[in-house]
Amino acid sequence: MSYLLETKDLTIRFGGLVAIKELNTHIRPGEILGLIGPNGSGKTTFLNLITGIYKPTSGDIFFQGKSVVGAPPYDMLRKGVARTFQNNRLFSNLSVLDNVIIGMHHKQRSQWYHAVFRSSFAKRELREAARKATELLEFFSRELVEDRYRKAIELPQAHRRKLEICRALASEPLLLLLDEPAAGMDPEETQHLMEDIRKIRKRMPDIAIILIEHDMNVIRNIAGRVIVINYGQKIAEGAFSEICQESCVLEAYLGEAAC
């Protein structure tokens, strides 16, 4: 099966710091790839490269077989790449429902002037978006449906993280990038998050997911394959049970003394 995403010798420098160095990896449709590494190892930078926030210093990124280097973030979203952020980036003062509807924005056809003149076309499109957004919330979380008219800022942290995933899913992505979705969650909330990710797979079996997590329980239970990076370089790759055995992984996390 061909790759949905492939990187070849992907590199980015910030001055003297090489944040990602000659990284070669890939993901297939339907796969969940875990991306782990110590703090500052380049995980978020990798997502920023894939989503077009950063442009690589060298190397290439292929999405559905075509190079996407230089494509801006809105274009990557249109192509089918959606993400959540390490620190929630919701529209805090908008309602839960509006946050999900915004995730569909790039698929809507009405223009700003349709909205200004409250055309029936714009109203119809908005009604349909609200229906779809509610349906997505219903599938994903009962609590979020109940809270759909509340401001995002009023939600507990775990629900805000769920809402961010919902907003990303509203764009109907082919590739979903989750940057530490379990951060700040207690064990019960983390358990629910894992069930949510399984639900996504059931509803969208072809969606590919790159999951960054420090909680190894989540990675062990959810990721089919894991890559480990340290100082921007891939140091190990394989099933979770395999990479755990690698001394370079233990060394990266625990220091030389541990090995």
Ligand X SMILES: Nc1ncnc2c1ncn2[C@@H]1O[C@H](COP(=O)(O)OP(=O)(O)OP(=O)(O)O)[C@@H](O)[C@H]1O
Stretch that binds Mg ion, among 37-45, 70-78, 213-221, 226-234 (CB under 5 A): 37-45
**Number of residues binding to ligand X, judged by CB under 6 A:** 12
Does position 39 interact with ligand X (CB under 6 A)? The reply is yes
181 binds ligand X (CB under 6 A): no
Partner whose footprint covers residue 40, from ligand X, Mg ion, none (CB < 5 to 8 Å by kind): ligand X
**Beta carbon nearer to ligand X, 68 or 229:** 229
Task: Report the partner that residue 171 touches, choosing among ligand X, Mg ion, none (CB closer than 5 to 8 A by kind).
Answer: none
* CA separation for the pair 100, 17 (Å, rounded): 37
Which span sits near ligand X by CB under 6 A: 25-33, 43-51, 114-122, 249-257? 43-51
Residues 69-88 that bind ligand X (CB under 6 A): 86
Per-residue contact flags (x/-) with Mg ion for residues 180 to 219, judged by CB under 5 A = ----------------------------------------
Residue 230 within binding range of ligand X, rule CB under 6 A: no
Pairwise CA distance, residues 56 & 68, whole Å = 11
Residue 44 binds Mg ion (CB under 5 A): yes
- Closest by alpha carbon to 230, among 201, 252, 210? 252
Q: Which entry of Mg ion, ligand X, none binds 14, CB below 5 to 8 A by partner kind?
A: ligand X
Q: Which of 9, 14, 156, 242 binds ligand X (CB under 6 A)?
A: 14
Does 45 bind ligand X (CB under 6 A)? Our answer is: yes
Residue closer to ligand X (CB basis): 19 or 158: 19
Residue 35 Cβ, how far from ligand X at the closest point, in Å? 9
Of 51 and 141, nearer to Mg ion (C-beta) is 51
Cα 254 from chain centroid (whole Å): 27
Taking CB under 5 A as the rule, which mask of x and - marks residues 79-108 in contact with Mg ion? -------x----------------------
Nearest to 173 by CA among 27, 14, 21, 9: 27
Nearest CA-CA partner of 248 in 233, 259, 237: 259
Under the rule (CB under 6 A), what is the footprint of ligand X?
A: 14, 17, 19, 37, 39-45, 86
Under the rule (CB under 5 A), what is the footprint of Mg ion?
A: 43-44, 86
